[in-house]
Amino acid sequence: MSVRNDVLLATTEDLLPKLEQIFVDGHPAMERIWDKLDKRQSGGEYAAFDVMIDGPGDATQIVGGSEAYTYGNKNVIKQGRVYIPEVVYSYAVLGKDLRRAAGPSGVVKLIEKYPESAMMHLKQEVVRQFVTGTANINGLGGFLTLNGGSTFTPDTASLTGAFEFAAQASQNDTFLNLAKEGASGGVTGWYNQYGSASSFATDGKRTMRDVYNKCKIRGGKYGNPDIGLCDSTSFNNYYDSLDDQVRYSIKSKGEEGSDSVEGLMFHQLKLFVEPVLDDELSSQFSGKNGVMFFLNTKTWHMLTLGSDDSKETKGLFTTRTVGQLQGRDAFGHELVVAMQPYCDFLKANGVIEGTATI
């Protein structure tokens, strides 16, 4: 008894919530950032968001009692712009696998071999794009990247990544349609915190504290940065610097059936190794000698276009099939996603370099 292609598609659709969980679980950059973002549906490919650069009013001291209050129309809101790319991840299901699958166990094996593996691969490369700006497969370069030394191209224009490795006054890139504070006519408060350690033994933890505290103070109501991502050498340097009695780990839930991802606490920030930083450190972060991202996830949000226009979905993905591929004993399947993360309070986040140098 074989499994029909339409049965496999229907089963995949039923399992989309579980597959979406695979997309975010077991990887701090996904589970702790993307999955906890504010998912908002946008009405179109482009979406605007507000950035507050000052308080909306003025204060008046009362001395004689006849003072006139000032109700000025202060221009304290700047608008950023986000483009939401749509991506189709396509793969072929072999006809022989459908024919050899039998019963419920056969369907389970097909799900594991195809849509689950597809989702795992897509997650791996979306993470690589998000953290470093260099996905290993085509079509993902439109997703935002944290790496200010790289670019992303959500439509036809090449845009700079989020975090610059430079002091506040020297940050002059344009990020999400807003010029940073150091640029001519830049937006006040639109910059990221930055620190550079000469070596971890010399001033590594001091630099971490400095950037953490700047993020926390500038973060205002958003509080402290809560997630840190770093290369393994920087992580181990921090680990080795801790006394045994204060060294304890926190966990990020793993994928079903796998071990949790362990991290370390730094004040109230959870610090994790980000493997793709190790992969791309020499190429995408040349000369940085280690990288740490400090993220305040309360300042990050997710925009999604939803799914199939015939049935709006609350999730990120939809799945579809194009039927049998011409001239092949195989059936085309697709995972479709349209989403984009963005930050609306950049100065509550920061980046550090030099932490891998002992």
Tokens of 193: 């915190």
Quick: pLDDT tens for 240-261: 999 875 666 676 655 544 556 7
pTM: 0.90
Residue 245's alpha-carbon distances to 137, 206, 262, in angstroms, are 44, 20, 18
Confidence class for position 43, pLDDT limits 50, 70, 90: low
Quick: pLDDT tens for 122-140: 999 999 999 999 998 889 9
Residue 55 pLDDT more than 80? no
What are the sequence ranges of the domains in the chain?
Answer: 5-49+78-353
Quick: pLDDT tens for 257-303: 455 678 999 999 999 999 999 999 999 999 999 999 999 999 998 88
Residue 176 pLDDT more than 70? yes
The whole-number pLDDT of residue 311 equals: 42
Residues 242-272 as b/e (b if ≥16 CB within 10 A, e otherwise) read eeeeeeeeeebeebeeeeebebbebeebbbb
Share of the chain above pLDDT 90, in %: 66
Residue 316 pLDDT more than 80? no
Up-side HSE of residue 344: CA atoms within 13 Å toward CB?
Answer: 20
The whole-number pLDDT of residue 58 equals: 81
Average pLDDT over the chain reads: 88
More confident residue, 318 or 316: 318
Residues 6+ positions from 293 with CB-CB distance below 8 Å? 131, 146, 163, 228, 229, 230, 274, 349, 350, 351
Quick: pLDDT tens for 94-133: 999 999 998 889 999 999 999 999 999 999 999 999 999 9
